[in-house]
Structure 1
Amino acid sequence: MTDEAELLQRLWNREKNSIDEAIQIYTPYLSTVLYYMAGNSLPKEDIEEIVADVFIVLWKNAGRIDSVRFTIFL
């Protein structure tokens, strides 16, 4: 199983440290994507808030993750 699939499984199982790990791993990537999508139209604080919102939605919907389908794309 890949590291991403293992993390998804742990998120699905609602292991508390899994969301912390996801935040640590994916915050730089999400921040970069948002920065390049929004350009200078959003202040840094707004980008940080959007990233935080992404992880809140991820945690709230962790039980709906289909890791079998997701691993096809990894």
Structure 2
Amino acid sequence: MEKFLMIKDTTKKVHRFGVQGRTLEFKIKPVPNNVDPVSWVKNAISQIVLKGAEDLRPTDQRVTVQIRYGSGQKTPANM
């Protein structure tokens, strides 16, 4: 069972750099009662990373993950 809702999955070509970019927008589902919230969120994030890595190839040179939260701020993390 997925612990997140996929809101948007878009791909676009960045001509200036000759690369293709992909954006996944998602929302983590509410934590059910009687479930450890930390484990729930960790599992949800693992599922999201797996979803985002589905189409990666060994020749891809850079993968960037940006996490946005309530205030609209983003925290970049390069993988």
TM-score by length of structure 1 reads: 0.41
Larger relative helix fraction? 1
